[in-house]
Structure 1
Amino acid sequence: MALRIGIGGIHIECSTFTPHVTRDADFAVRRGDELLARYEFTGEGEAQWVPLVHARAVPGGPVAPDTYARLKDELVDRIRAAGPLDGLLFDIHGAMHVPGYEDVEADLAAAVRAAVGPACLISTATDLHGSVTEALVRQVDLITAHRLAPHEDEWITRERAARVLVSCLRHGIRPIKAWVRVPVLLPGEKTSTRDEPARGLWGSLAEVERTPGVLDAAIWVGYAWADEPRSSAAVVVSGTDERAVLGEAAKLAERYWAVRGQFTFVGPTGTAEEAIDAAVGSARKPFVISDSGDNPTAGGAGDVPFLLERLLARPEFKAGGLSAIYASIVDPDAVRACAASGAGTDVDISVGGRLDTRHGRPATVRGRVEALVDDPAGGLVAVVAAGGVRVIVTSRRKPYHLMADFARLGLDPHRADLVVVKIGYLEPELQRLAQGWMIALTPGGVDQDLLRLGHQRLTRPVYPFDAELSTPDLTPRLIS
C-alpha cells in the first residue's frame, strides 16, 4: 500500500521589537490542490501526499493569539479528518512568536503529535534562522534546515526533509537525534553562507551526512530579533547510530563556538548618511543600499522612514541631478491620498512612522504621482516622484527582491543611480544588479546592532551579549 504522508504547517518569523501585529489577513493560507502544487516532488509517485493546511506570512511582528489558535486548530482538525497518516511533512520557519508562549513551535508540534499519534513519523523543514529547542526536537522525528543564506536552497530543504522521511518509512527506521544548544546569537547578515566561516560550516553538512549511521545534519543560527529564552544557535544530527549522531553533533557545535568571533557582515556597512555618501561618490551605477534595520523579510515593520528622510534631504537627489528608487514604505493612508489625487497630479503627503512609532515619525513627501498599480502582494501601490527619488508606497508590507516587482511599477532599477531596498543581505537578483553596495545600519525592529535593541529575556550568558564567556558545555542531548 502507498504511504500516506500529510503536509502542513505555519511559516513565519516574528520580531518582538516590531510593534506590527500579524493577523489572519497577513497569511497566505493554502489547502487542497493549491497546497500540493507548491511541492513539485509530490508528483513523483513515491507516496500518497495528503494536503492539510499551510499558512505563510511575510515576517513581521508577533502573531495575534487568536490568529494562531485558528490556524493551529485547523491544522489539527484536518490531520484528524485525514485519517491515519504514516508520515507528516511539517513545514515551518522556526521563529514564530505568539504572546503567552515561550516556544510556540514546540506547542504547535505537540498538538500535531497528539493528532497524528505516536506511530506517525514527523519530518520538519525549517529556516536556519529559527530557534530550535530540545522541546521541539522531542516532538518530531526528523528536523533539518536550509544550508544557504540567502535561502537559494529553500525548496531543496523541503525535498530533503521529504526524501529522508520516505526512506525512513520504507525501511522501518525510527531515527534518533542529538541536539545541542550553542550560546551564540548573531544576525543573518553576519552569518551569510557566501562568506567564511559560515560557508565552511554549512558546507560541511553534506559530508557529515555521509558518515555511517547519520541521516541528516543541521545548524541553526537562531533568530536574533526575538527576545525569548530559546533564542540561540543550535545543532541537530539525526540518524540510526547513537555514537555517530552524538559525535558529529558535538564536533559541529564545537566548531561553531570556536569561530564565533570570526563572523562579520557580509558587505560593507555604515550609517545611513555614510551609505548615501558612498552612493553619491560611486562611479559605478546602480549603487544599492540595504535599509537593514527595517527589513520586512526579517520581521521589520517596513514603515520606518529614517533613511528615506535623509535621502530626500540630499541636494544631489532633491534637485534631480541623481536618480534613486526607494523600495519601499508601507502606508495605506498615503496610498489612498495618492489615489484620490490621481496619477499625474502633485501631492504633499506624510508616509510611514505609523506602525513602528518607536523609530521615527511620518516623513513628508512632496512630489508627483507617477503610477498607481494593483499588486498581488503589496495591494494598491503608488510611485511618487520627489525630485530625483521615486518613492514606492505600498498598502501592505511587501519586499522588493525581484526585477519583476519594479517592472510592474514601470521602474527600471538598472537605469537608476541608487536603489534603496529594505533588506539585509542581497537576494540573488539584487546582488546581480548592484555595482556597489552598502548595508546601512539603520534603526528598526530588526536593527543589526543587537546590543542597542534591549534584549531582557535571553538565556545568559550568550555571545556577543556577554563579554566574558567561559567555554560552555556543548555535550549533545540524545533524543529518541
Structure 2
Amino acid sequence: MKIFSAFLATETNTSGVVPTGSVDFEARGFFRGDASLRNPSGFGASHALLRQLAAADGHTIVESLTAHAQPSGITLRSVYEQYRDWILEDLKAAMPLQGVILIMHGAMVAEGYDDCEGDTIQKVRDLVGPGVPIGVELDLHCHFSEQMRTQADVVIAYKEYPHTDTMERLEELYRLVVRQAEGSIRPVTAVHDLRMIGLWHTTQEPMRSFVDRMQSLEGKDGILSVSLGHGFPWGDTPDTGAKLWVVADSELAGAQALADQLGREFWELRHQTWQPPLSIAATIEEIRRAPEGPIVLADVADNPGGGAMSDSTFILQGLLEAGVHDAVLGVYWDLGAVSLCQSAGVGARLKLRIGGKCGPKSGDPVDLQVTVKAIVPDHFNHGLGFRWSFGTGVWVQTDQGMDIALCTSRGQVLSCEAFENLGIPLAGRKVIVVKSTQHFHAAFAPMARQVLYVGAPGSITQNFAEMSFTRRDNRFWPRVEDPRR
C-alpha cells in the first residue's frame, strides 16, 4: 500500500500586525520530501512516525512538503498557493495511491482564503477521486469547516490542551486510513456546532473528565473517533468557534446522535469549564500572600503561539513596581536588545531597553541596568512533540537579580529548556513568567506551587464576551447567553 503524506500548518491571527510569508516558514525549517531524514526531532517527526508505522505494516509513505510557521498574521496568498501547489505536484507524481494523510492546523488563513485547509483538501480530492481515503490531523484550535468534513474521509483533532497527544492522534489517523483503504470500514462524519467561543484547559476538571469520556466511546458501537475542536478565537472566519464531531463506521444517524448528545453535555458545562484570567493587580496580591514559590505566571495575551508579538512589558512593569525582583521572565522577542547584548558580549554591564517595540499592545519599553550572562546562538525548547527554535537567545540579569530571556525568533515557552538552556536557574525562584497560554503547563505545573493565568493587555485577549466578528455572526456564548434562540 502506498500512502502520500504532507505537512502544511500555521495558525492565523487575522488581526495580527505582521503577515506570514515564506521567511516565516523557512525559519522553522522547510523541507520537500526529506524532513523525516533531515529533521526527525523537529517537524519531520510526524513523517518519521508515519514511515515507521508504514514500514512495520509493509506499506510505503511518499513524503511531500513539511512547512510550519510560527502563528502570526494572514498568510500571503502567493506563499500559500505555492506551497499548496507543490503538494499537488508531488501528489500527481506519486499516483496511483491507496491513501493520503495531511498534517495541518485547521486555522490557517491566507489572502483570499478563509479556509486554507479546506481548499487544499478539496484540491487533493479532485486529484485522487472519491475512492482514495483522505485523512487529516488538525490542531484542536481549528475552524472545522463543512468543506473539510465533506472532502476528507477522516478528520481527527488533538484531544489535549496542552497538546501532549499529537503523535498519538497521528497514529490513530494512520490506522483508520489504512483500515479504510483495506475496505474494513466506511467512515462518515457528523458535526455539532456548539456556538461557543473560548479556551478550555484539559488539565482541569470538568474538562479532564469530558475528554476521557470522549475517548472512552471510541472503538465501540461503530464509533471510530470523537473530536472536540475548540476553535481559534483570534481568527475571524465564517467557521470560527467550537465544534464537536464524530466519525463512525457507515452509520451517519448514530454519529449525529452522539455528536448532539456530547454537544449538549459540553454546553451544560460551560460555566464550570472557563475561568477568566487574573488582573495584574490581583496577581501581585497572590504573589505577596504566597509564602514561597515558584509561582508560574502565564502571560496569556502575549503568547506568540497565538500570533502575539511576545514583547509586551505589562507584567514586567507590574513586578518592578511591586518590588518583586526574584523572578524569571521570557522569552521576549527583541532583535534590538539581542543585538546590543551581542555587541557588548558576555559579562558586559549596560543599560538595556527591553520590549514594547510592536505597538500599543506591547506596552512601553522598559529601561533596565543589566549584565549579559549568556548568549546562545541556537536557543530552543521542546514541546508538542517537536523542537522549536528561538534563534539567538540571551540571558540578562538586572542589578536586583531579575533574570530575563530574550530571543531573535518568536517562540512560545513550552518547556523549562526555554530558560535552562541559557543557564537561567529555576529552582527556588519566587516567580516564573512564561509567554504562553497553556502549552507551558505540562512542563511547569509539576514544579510550581501555584499556576496563575494573567490577563494583561495584549493581542490575544481572553475577554471573549466582548469579542466581535465580521466573517461570522456574533451570536455565540459568552457574548450571548443562549445563542440558539
With structure 1 as the length reference, what TM-score do the two structures score? 0.90
Measured against aligned partners, the alpha-carbon deviations of 1:274-321 in whole angstroms (never above 9, x if no partner) come to 22332243213211111111111233221222212222333342xxxx
In the alignment, the residues of structure 2 paired with residue 204 and residue 236 of structure 1 have an alpha-carbon distance, to the nearest angstrom, of 14
Give the equivalent residue in structure 1 for 2:60.
Answer: 48
The code of the aligned residue for 1:403 comes to: C
1:401-420 map, 5 Å: 401-420=414-433
Moved more, 220-229 or 33-42: 33-42
The question of whether the paired residues in 2 share the 8 Å contact of 1:19 and 1:356 is answered with no
Provide the C-alpha distance between the structure 1 equivalents of 2:378 and 2:233, rounded to a whole number of angstroms. 31
Tell me, in whole angstroms, the C-alpha distance in 1 between the residues paired with 2:50 and 2:115: 30
Partner Cα separation in structure 1 for residue 414 and residue 303 of structure 2: 11
Query: What is residue 477 of structure 1 aligned with on the other side?
Result: none
* Alignment partner, residue 463 of structure 1: 477
Structure 1 residue runs of 5 or longer lacking an equivalent are 318-322, 472-480
Q: Are 1:313 and 2:311 an aligned pair?
A: no
Name the CA distance, whole Å, in 2 between partners of 1:282 and 1:53.
49
Equivalent residue in structure 1 for 2:377, among 350, 374, 379: 374
Does residue 271 (structure 1) correspond to residue 279 (structure 2)? The answer is yes
Quick check: 89-98 or 18-27, which moved more?
18-27
| Residue 442 (structure 1) aligned with residue 456 (structure 2) | yes
Per-residue CA deviations over 1:180-206 (Å, capped at 9, x if unaligned) read: 32211112xxx1122233223221223
1:402 partner SS: coil
| CA deviation after TM superposition for structure 1 residue 217, in Å | 1.7
What is the CA–CA distance in structure 2 between the aligned matches of 1:149 and 1:308, rounded to whole Å?
Answer: 26
The answer to whether the 8 Å contact 1:122/1:142 transfers is: yes
Matched, 1:256 2:259: no
Paired with 1:348 and 1:126, the residues of 2 have a C-alpha distance of 45
Deviation at 1:431, TM superposition (A): 0.9
CA shift in 2, pair 1:306/1:64, >3 Å: farther
Does structure 2 conserve the Cα–Cα contact (< 8 Å) formed by 1:269 and 1:275?
Answer: no
Q: Tell me the equivalent position of 2:396.
A: 384
What is the CA-CA distance between 1:212 and the residue it aligns to? 2.2
Whole-Å Cα distance in 1 between the matches of residues 168 and 424 of structure 2?
32
Which aligned pairs between 1:229-378 and structure 2 lie closer than 5 A? 229-239=238-248, 240-265=250-275, 269-317=277-325, 323-376=326-379, 377-378=389-390
Residue 9 of structure 1 is matched in structure 2 by 7
Cα distance in 2 between the residues matched to 1:438 and 1:166 = 43
- Report deviation, 1:452: 4.6
Q: Given the alignment of the two structures, is residue 105 of structure 1 paired with residue 103 of structure 2, yes or no?
A: no
Q: Of the two structures, which has the highest relative contact order with CA contacts closer than 8 Å and spacing of 6 or more? A: 1
Deviations along 1:365-403, one digit per CA (max 9) or x if unpaired, are 331111111125111222121222111111110222222
Of the three residues 53, 65, 70, the one matched with 2:82 is: 70
SS of aligned partner of 2:330: strand
**Percent identity, aligned pairs only?**
25
SS in 2 for 1:414: coil
User: Residue in 2 aligned with 1:422?
Assistant: 435
Instruction: Note the alpha carbon deviations across 1:147-181, whole angstroms, 9 max, x for none.
Output: 12111111101110111111111125442221232
Alpha-carbon spacing, 1:305–1:453, altered in 2? closer, same or farther (3 Å):
farther
Aligned residue in 2 for 1:178: 190
Contact 1:20 1:356 in 2 (8 A): no
What CA RMSD, in Å, does the superposition of the two structures yield over aligned residues?
2.1
CA drift of 1:455 comes to 3.5
Determine the C-alpha separation between the residues in 1 that align with 2:226 and 2:353: 49
Question: For the structure 1 residues 17 and 444, does the alpha-carbon distance in structure 2 shift closer, same or farther, using more than 3 Å as the test?
Answer: farther
Counterpart for residue 148 of structure 1 = 160
SS state at 1:124 partner: strand
Name stretches of at least 5 consecutive residues in structure 2 with no aligned partner. Answer: 380-388
Task: Quickly say closer, same or farther: Cα 1:186–1:296, change in 2 above 3 A.
Answer: same
Is the partner of 2:306 in helix, strand or coil? coil
Shift of 1:356: 4.5
Whether 2:31 is the aligned partner of 1:30: answer yes
Cα pair 1:20 1:355 within 8 Å, conserved: no
Report the Cα offset of residue 100 of structure 1. 2.4
Residues 415 and 450 (structure 1), Cα distance of their counterparts in 2 relative to 1, 3 Å cut: same
Alpha-carbon contact 1:183-1:461 (below 8 Å) kept: yes
Letter in 1 for 2:437: G
Shift of 1:41: 4.5
Looking at structure 2, the residues matched to 195 and 159 of structure 1 have their Cα atoms a distance apart, in angstroms, of: 25
Q: Name the CA distance, whole Å, in 2 between partners of 1:352 and 1:64.
A: 27
The aligned amino acid for 1:461 is R
Amino acid at match of 1:363: V
- Distance in 1, Cα, partners of 2:362 & 2:416: 29
In the TM superposition, what is the alpha-carbon distance from 1:429 to its structure 2 partner?
1.3
- What is the count of residue pairs matched by the alignment? 459
CA 1:73–1:446: 2 relative to 1, 3 Å: same
Name whichever of 102-111 and 327-336 sits farther off. 102-111
1:195 lines up with 2:209 in the alignment: no
Partner of 2:232: 223
Question: Separation in 1 of the partners of 2:269 and 2:450?
Answer: 28
Return the alpha-carbon distance in structure 2 between the equivalents of residues 311 and 21 of structure 1.
32
